Chain A
Amino acid sequence: MEDTGLVTVLLAMLAGAIRVSTPFMFVALGECLTEKSGRINLGLEGTLVFGAMAAYATSFLTGSPWLGVIVAGLSGSLFGALHGAICRLKGVNDIAIGIAMMLFGTGLAFFFGKAYIQPVAPHLPSIALGFWTDNPNLAKALEINPLFLIGIALAVLLWWALANTRMGLILRTTGDSAPAALALGINVDLVRFLATAFGGFLAGIGGAFLSLYYPGSWTEGLSSGQGLMAVALVIFSRWNPLACVGAALLFGAAGALGPALQSIGISRGYHFFNAAPYLLTLIIMILTTSPTRSLKGAPGELSITK
Chain B
Amino acid sequence: MTDVTLTTPSHPLADLGDRLRRGSEYVVIPLAALLASALLFSLFLLALGKSPVTFVELIWKGGFGSAFAFQQTLVRASPLILTALCVAIPARLGMVVIGGEGALVLGGFAAAVIAIPFVGHAPAVLILPLMALAAVAAGALWIGAVGVLRHYRGINETISSLLLYYIARSILNFFVEGALRDPSDPNKPSTMPIGADNMIGAIPGTTVHWGLAAGIVACVLIWILLNRTTFGFAARITGGNVRAAKAQGLPVGKLVLVSTAIAGACAGLAGFFEVAAIQGKANASLLAGYGFTGILVSFLARHNPLAIVPVAIFLGAINSSGGLIQRRLDLPDATVLVLQGLMFVVLLISDTFYGRFAVFKSKGA
Using CB atoms, name the residue of chain B closest to A105: B341
Contact pattern, B 2-29, Cβ under 8 Å of A = 1, otherwise 0: 0000000000000000000000000000
Complex contacts, B173 vs chain A, CB 8 Å: 271, 274
Whole-angstrom distance from the CB of B1 to the nearest CB of chain A? Answer: 6
Interface of chain B residues 136 through 193 with chain A (CB within 8 A)? 149, 151-156, 158-160, 162-164, 166-167, 170-171, 173-174, 177-178
B170 & A271 in contact (Cβ 8 Å cutoff): yes
> A149 on the interface (CB 8 Å rule)?
no
Complex contacts, B156 vs chain A, CB 8 Å: 304
Interface centre among B149, B345, B355 (most CB of A within 10 A): B345
Q: Report Cα–Cα, A90/B351, bound state, in Å.
A: 8
> A161 on the interface (CB 8 Å rule)?
no
Q: Report Cα–Cα, A274/B355, bound state, in Å.
A: 47
> B354 on the interface (CB 8 Å rule)?
yes
> A110 on the interface (CB 8 Å rule)?
yes
Interface of chain B residues 294 through 340 with chain A (CB within 8 A)? 295-296, 299, 331-332, 334-340
B334 & A107 in contact (Cβ 8 Å cutoff): yes
> A162 on the interface (CB 8 Å rule)?
no
Q: Report Cα–Cα, A86/B33, bound state, in Å.
A: 14
B153 & A278 in contact (Cβ 8 Å cutoff): no
Whole-angstrom distance from the CB of B114 to the nearest CB of chain A? Answer: 21
A106 & B170 in contact (Cβ 8 Å cutoff): no
> B349 on the interface (CB 8 Å rule)?
yes
Whole-angstrom distance from the CB of B30 to the nearest CB of chain A? Answer: 14
Whole-angstrom distance from the CB of A20 to the nearest CB of chain B? Answer: 15
Complex contacts, A114 vs chain B, CB 8 Å: 332, 334
Whole-angstrom distance from the CB of B134 to the nearest CB of chain A? Answer: 21
Question: Could you say which of A89, A104, A225, A289 contacts B166, with CB atoms under 8 Å apart?
Answer: A225
> A93 on the interface (CB 8 Å rule)?
yes
B158 & A282 in contact (Cβ 8 Å cutoff): no
Contact pattern, A 279-296, Cβ under 8 Å of B = 1, otherwise 0: 101100110011110000
Interface of chain A residues 77 through 97 with chain B (CB within 8 A)? 82, 86, 89-93, 95-97
B170 & A272 in contact (Cβ 8 Å cutoff): yes
Interface centre among B155, B163, B164, B337 (most CB of A within 10 A): B163
B349 & A86 in contact (Cβ 8 Å cutoff): yes
Q: Report Cα–Cα, A114/B174, bound state, in Å.
A: 29
Complex contacts, B163 vs chain A, CB 8 Å: 225, 228-229, 232, 278, 281-282
Whole-angstrom distance from the CB of B69 to the nearest CB of chain A? Answer: 23
Complex contacts, A304 vs chain B, CB 8 Å: 156
B162 & A271 in contact (Cβ 8 Å cutoff): no
> A170 on the interface (CB 8 Å rule)?
no
Complex contacts, B153 vs chain A, CB 8 Å: 285-286, 289-291
Complex contacts, B151 vs chain A, CB 8 Å: 291
Complex contacts, A228 vs chain B, CB 8 Å: 159, 162-163
> B56 on the interface (CB 8 Å rule)?
no
B158 & A111 in contact (Cβ 8 Å cutoff): no
Q: Report Cα–Cα, A143/B167, bound state, in Å.
A: 31
> B216 on the interface (CB 8 Å rule)?
no
Q: Report Cα–Cα, A289/B352, bound state, in Å.
A: 32
A contact residues, range: 35 or more
Q: Report Cα–Cα, A103/B339, bound state, in Å.
A: 10
Question: Could you say which of A99, A100, A106, A285 contacts B155, with CB atoms under 8 Å apart?
Answer: A285
Complex contacts, B177 vs chain A, CB 8 Å: 271
B344 & A282 in contact (Cβ 8 Å cutoff): no
B158 & A95 in contact (Cβ 8 Å cutoff): yes
A42 & B158 in contact (Cβ 8 Å cutoff): yes
Complex contacts, B296 vs chain A, CB 8 Å: 103
> B60 on the interface (CB 8 Å rule)?
no
Q: Report Cα–Cα, A282/B160, bound state, in Å.
A: 7
B337 & A93 in contact (Cβ 8 Å cutoff): no
> B98 on the interface (CB 8 Å rule)?
yes
Whole-angstrom distance from the CB of B293 to the nearest CB of chain A? Answer: 9
Using CB atoms, name the residue of chain A closest to B96: A95
B341 & A106 in contact (Cβ 8 Å cutoff): yes
CB contact under 8 A between A290 and B352, given known A86-B345, A111-B332: no
Whole-angstrom distance from the CB of B93 to the nearest CB of chain A? Answer: 14
Whole-angstrom distance from the CB of A151 to the nearest CB of chain B? Answer: 22
B295 & A99 in contact (Cβ 8 Å cutoff): yes
B binding-site residues for A, Cβ under 8 Å = 1, 96, 98, 149, 151-156, 158-160, 162-164, 166-167, 170-171, 173-174, 177-178, 292, 295-296, 299, 331-332, 334-342, 344-345, 347-349, 351-352, 354-355
Q: List 13 A-B contacts (CB under 8 A).
A: A46-B341, A90-B352, A92-B349, A103-B296, A103-B341, A103-B344, A107-B341, A225-B162, A228-B159, A269-B174, A271-B170, A286-B149, A291-B154
A binding-site residues for B, Cβ under 8 Å = 42, 46, 82, 86, 89-93, 95-97, 99-101, 103-108, 110-111, 114, 224-225, 228-229, 231-232, 268-269, 271-272, 274-275, 278-279, 281-282, 285-286, 289-292, 304
Known: A274-B170, A274-B173. 18 other contacts (CB 8 A): A90-B352, A93-B351, A99-B96, A99-B98, A99-B158, A100-B299, A100-B344, A103-B292, A104-B341, A104-B345, A106-B337, A107-B334, A108-B338, A225-B163, A271-B174, A272-B174, A278-B164, A291-B151
The 10 A-B residue pairs with the shortest CB-CB distance in the complex, in nearest-first order: A104-B341, A107-B337, A110-B334, A275-B170, A291-B154, A100-B344, A271-B174, A89-B352, A114-B332, A271-B173
